[in-house]
């Protein structure tokens, strides 16, 4: 009998309304309550990676879910006043609210992995182009969050290869920024992945959670088959996540682990229930 784990992904910057299907904070809060009531166990992402690498799934409870969130803005950590939709409870405070309501032992391994963008300069720019331009994409919270353990910090590349970044920010000679599947060579992969890993290590004062999340879920084939197998472990990255909507199971490729994305793969509790089978 093969076990599997569902890895779910949210984006705390996705605040487009005040309802479940328009606000990732509302969705996240409702989902974790639903998953708890439905008998799911929350486990940390590192346990999922350990099971895939070791092949030993005995310790993984049936009906397990691991939580992740991408891009790493202040909405992950601080309650913030959204100019259109009011005060937003941070993703980590939503986990704290859950613990306050049910007690810490109701879900002793409750945790979310926050895949963050490394470059401060890129985040400062993306704060203006993708968010509200209030300086809400800083990394001042990473070390405290990672040490506390309710949100673990991991690598989501140096600058996300985002199309809104001015060309003088780009890795030299790149065209078609806005995609991640066209990384050109090892130097660029080091620039995007290794540089971010070193920056995270410096800010955290310790190792990040040993995973990478491909921006846009886009996997450059040679990164999954050559670059990570050769260089991942030495830089402290043991697995990489896509956005292919499947459960992680014993024969998943550690450099191409699947995840479900809120609002892409489900937009209601009924759809989540269906997806988790
Ligand atoms: Zn992203």
Q: Over the stretch 190-222, which tens digit does the pLDDT of each residue have?
A: 999 999 999 999 999 999 999 999 999 999 999
Burial group, residue 50, by CB count within 10 angstroms (0-12, 13-18, 19+): middle
pLDDT band at residue 113 under the 50/70/90 scheme: very high
Domain ranges across the chain: 4-275
Average pLDDT, the chain: 96
81 C-alpha to center of ligand 1: Å? 22
3 C-alpha to center of ligand 1: Å? 28
85 C-alpha to center of ligand 1: Å? 22
254 C-alpha to center of ligand 1: Å? 19
173 C-alpha to center of ligand 1: Å? 22
255 C-alpha to center of ligand 1: Å? 17
Does pTM top 0.85 for this prediction?
yes
State residue 173's pLDDT score.
83
State residue 50's pLDDT score.
97
CA 256 – CA 222 distance, rounded (Å): 12
CA 137 – CA 212 distance, rounded (Å): 19
159 C-alpha to center of ligand 1: Å? 10
Q: Which CATH superfamily is domain 4-275 in?
A: Glycoside hydrolase/deacetylase (3.20.20.370)
Burial group, residue 264, by CB count within 10 angstroms (0-12, 13-18, 19+): exposed
Task: Write the pLDDT tens digit of every residue in 128-174.
Answer: 998 889 999 999 999 999 999 999 999 999 999 999 999 888 998 88
Phi, psi of 261 (to 5 degrees): -115, 125
53 C-alpha to center of ligand 1: Å? 25
State residue 174's pLDDT score.
82
Whether residue 2 is predicted with pLDDT greater than 80 in this model: the reply is no
Average pLDDT over residues 82-96: 97
Identify the weakest region by mean pLDDT among 35-44, 175-184, 206-215, 256-265: 175-184
Average pLDDT over residues 213-242: 98
70 C-alpha to center of ligand 1: Å? 5
Identify the weakest region by mean pLDDT among 109-123, 164-178, 230-244: 164-178
The share of the chain scoring above pLDDT 70, in percent, equals 100
101 C-alpha to center of ligand 1: Å? 31
156 C-alpha to center of ligand 1: Å? 7
Identify the weakest region by mean pLDDT among 137-146, 177-186, 205-214, 228-237: 177-186
Specify the 3-state DSSP secondary structure of 217: helix
Average pLDDT over residues 11-18: 96
């Amino acid at each position: 009998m093969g076990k599997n784990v569902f890895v779910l992904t949210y984006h705390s910057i996705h605040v487009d309304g005040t309802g479940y299907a328009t606000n990732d904070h509302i969705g996240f809060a409702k989902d974790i309550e639903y998953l708890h009531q439905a008998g799911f166990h929350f486990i940390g992402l590192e346990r999922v990676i350990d099971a895939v690498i070791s092949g030993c799934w005995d310790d993984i409870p049936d009906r397990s879910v691991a939580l992740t969130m991408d891009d790493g803005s202040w909405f992950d950590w601080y309650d913030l006043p959204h100019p259109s939709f009011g005060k937003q409870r941070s993703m980590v405070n939503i986990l704290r609210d859950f613990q306050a309501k049910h007690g810490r032992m109701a879900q002793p391994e409750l945790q979310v992995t926050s895949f963050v963008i490394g470059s401060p300069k890129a985040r400062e720019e993306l704060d203006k182009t993708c968010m509200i331009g209030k300086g809400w994409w800083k990394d001042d919270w990473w070390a405290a969050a990672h040490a506390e353990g309710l949100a673990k910090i991991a690598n989501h590349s140096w600058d996300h290869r985002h199309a809104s970044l001015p060309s003088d920010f780009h890795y030299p000679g790149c065209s078609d920024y806005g995609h991640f599947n066209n990384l050109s060579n090892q130097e660029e992969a080091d620039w995007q992945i290794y540089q971010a890993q070193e920056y995270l290590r410096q800010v955290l004062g310790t190792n990040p959670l040993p995973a990478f999340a491909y921006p846009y879920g886009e996997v450059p084939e040679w990164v999954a088959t050559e670059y990570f197998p050769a260089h991942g472990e030495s830089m402290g990255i043991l697995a990489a996540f896509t956005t292919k909507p499947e459960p992680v199971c014993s024969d998943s490729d550690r450099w191409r682990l699947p995840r479900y994305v809120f609002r892409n793969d489900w937009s209601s509790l009924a759809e989540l229930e269906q997806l988790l089978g």
